[in-house]
């Protein structure tokens, strides 16, 4: 790791000769010389240090639909960045090589890039937003926040793709510079405990809080056969999202065997259809199925059912939402359109 990447972290306190990190809801108590669950925050001589400030492991230009965001500047490009580390241990992690490595073998890879360089690259590639993604962006909070500020100043929007486990103080600081967040609602309480090493309630509270504070929220659930895709579970996810707002988009996505869940079959179309139907039965206006071609990808007006945004994979064929309204019946369509 670059020397510039090791800096004092935010959101911690001294505790009985150790330090306690309060960046996320894991609330790690870290002994001298040790790291938190994420593998990238370390107690160095009684101070908590982040080891990944500006230490980019990934920087790519992506369609915003890949995040996925379907009601946030559809058809635009997002400059997507990540540093290593994650506060979950999901057995099905799709980016385990960069999220889990710091805690599995202690290595932290990447190349240092100051915030202004990230912003300059985003502008040069004609992106409309910067996405903090691939790993858990909360784990590189200090850096992400320092990118968010200059990004806003030049007209770029900031979006997190997150597991939603950010702590209360960090969320309070982040929300004023955050425009959108896609939060994974991974499963029920038992799933979080067994598969992710976490709890579901903080995630739900952050979904509610972000929405109420004016951050645009979309929710994604990766459906894993036999683990989190029963009719009862699908109904529970959908009813929770609808209780926050029927305008909140829900993405149900197909699982493919990976990392430590290679013996589980991939998700079939029928599971995704059940997810879409559960969302609609709960009153959600916008439910999408991902990772399988030809499923529910388009945005329809909830009133007249006119196709407003037509998609193929991560590509937008056309989008007719005008000033946040259906051009046909003038119904308001929730989202960030300009």
SS3 of 23-79: CECCCCEECCCCECCCCCEEEECCEEEECCCCEECEEEEEEHHHCCCCCECCCCEEE
Q: What percent of the chain has pLDDT over 90?
A: 93
Mean pLDDT of 198-218: 98
Q: What is the pLDDT of residues 121-156, one digit of tens each?
A: 999 999 999 999 999 999 999 999 999 999 999 999
Nearest by Cα to 81 from 176, 186, 159: 159
Structure tokens at 306: 């006119």
Which residues does 289 contact at the CB level (< 8 Å), separation at least 6? 251, 252, 253, 254, 272, 273, 275, 276, 295, 296, 297
Q: Are 88 and 196 in contact (CB under 8 A)?
A: yes
Cα 192 to its chain centre, rounded Å, is 16
Prediction pTM value: 0.97
Taking only the tens place, the pLDDT of each residue in 90-121 is 999 999 999 999 999 899 999 999 999 999 99
| Predicted pLDDT of residue 3 | 82
Measured CA angle at 101 (ends 97, 104), to 5 deg = 130
* Residues 276-296, mean pLDDT to the nearest whole number: 90
CA of residue 283 relative to chain centroid, distance: 23
Average pLDDT, the chain: 96
Please report the pLDDT score of residue 89 as a whole number: 97
Pairing label, strands 47-50, 7-8: antiparallel
Please name which of 142, 138, 135 lies closest in space to residue 50, comparing C-alpha atoms: 142
Confidence bin at 322 (pLDDT 50/70/90): confident
What gap in Å lies between CA 96 and CA 134, rounded to an integer? 10
Evaluate if residue 17 carries a pLDDT over 90. no
Residues 228-232 have a mean pLDDT of 98
Q: For residue 198, what pLDDT band results from cuts at 50, 70 and 90? A: very high
- Rounded CA-CA distance 132/165 in Å is 15
Question: Do the Cβ atoms of 24 and 138 come closer than 8 Å?
Answer: yes
Residue 292: per-residue pLDDT: 75
Count the neighbouring beta carbons within 10 Å of the beta carbon of residue 10.
Answer: 16
Task: Output 25-31 pairs: Cβ under 8 A, ≥24 positions apart.
Answer: 25/165, 25/166, 25/167, 25/198, 25/199, 25/202, 26/87, 26/165, 26/198, 27/167
Tell me what the mean pLDDT of segment 182-188 comes to: 98
| Tokens encoding 108 | 């932290």
Q: What are phi and psi of 125, to 5 degrees?
A: -90, 10
């Amino acid at each position: 790791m670059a020397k510039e990447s090791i800096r004092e972290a935010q959101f911690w306190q001294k505790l009985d000769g150790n330090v306690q990190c309060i960046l996320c809801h894991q609330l790690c108590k870290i002994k001298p010389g040790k790291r938190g669950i994420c593998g990238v925050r370390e107690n160095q001589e009684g101070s908590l240090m982040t080891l990944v400030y500006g230490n980019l492991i990934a920087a790519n230009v992506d369609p915003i639909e890949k995040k996925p965001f379907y009601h946030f500047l559809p058809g635009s490009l997002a400059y997507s960045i990540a540093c290593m580390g994650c506060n979950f241990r999901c057995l099905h992690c799709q980016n385990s090589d960069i999220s889990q490595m710091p805690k599995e073998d202690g290595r932290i890879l990447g190349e240092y890039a100051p915030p202004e360089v990230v912003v300059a690259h985003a502008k040069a590639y004609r992106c409309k937003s910067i996405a903090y993604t691939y790993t858990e962006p909360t784990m590189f909070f200090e850096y992400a926040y320092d990118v968010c500020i200059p990004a806003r100043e030049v007209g770029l929007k900031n979006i997190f793709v997150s597991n939603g486990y950010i702590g209360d103080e960090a969320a309070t600081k982040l929300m004023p510079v955050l425009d959108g967040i896609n939060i994974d609602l991974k499963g029920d309480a038992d799933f979080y405990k067994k598969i992710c090493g976490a709890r579901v309630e903080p995630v739900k509270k952050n979904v509610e809080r972000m929405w109420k504070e004016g951050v645009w929220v979309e929710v994604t659930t990766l459906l894993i056969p036999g683990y989190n895709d029963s009719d009862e579970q699908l109904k529970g996810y959908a009813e929770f999202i609808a209780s926050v707002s029927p305008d909140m988009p829900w993405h149900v996505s197909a699982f493919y065997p990976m990392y430590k869940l290679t013996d589980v079959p991939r998700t079939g179309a029928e599971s995704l259809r059940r997810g879409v139907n559960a969302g609609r039965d709960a009153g959600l206006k916008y439910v999408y199925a991902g990772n399988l071609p030809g499923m529910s990808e388009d945005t329809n007006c909830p009133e007249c059912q006119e196709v407003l945004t037509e998609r193929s994979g991560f590509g937008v064929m056309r989008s007719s939402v005008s000033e946040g309204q259906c051009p046909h019946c003038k119904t308001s369509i929730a989202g960030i359109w300009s």
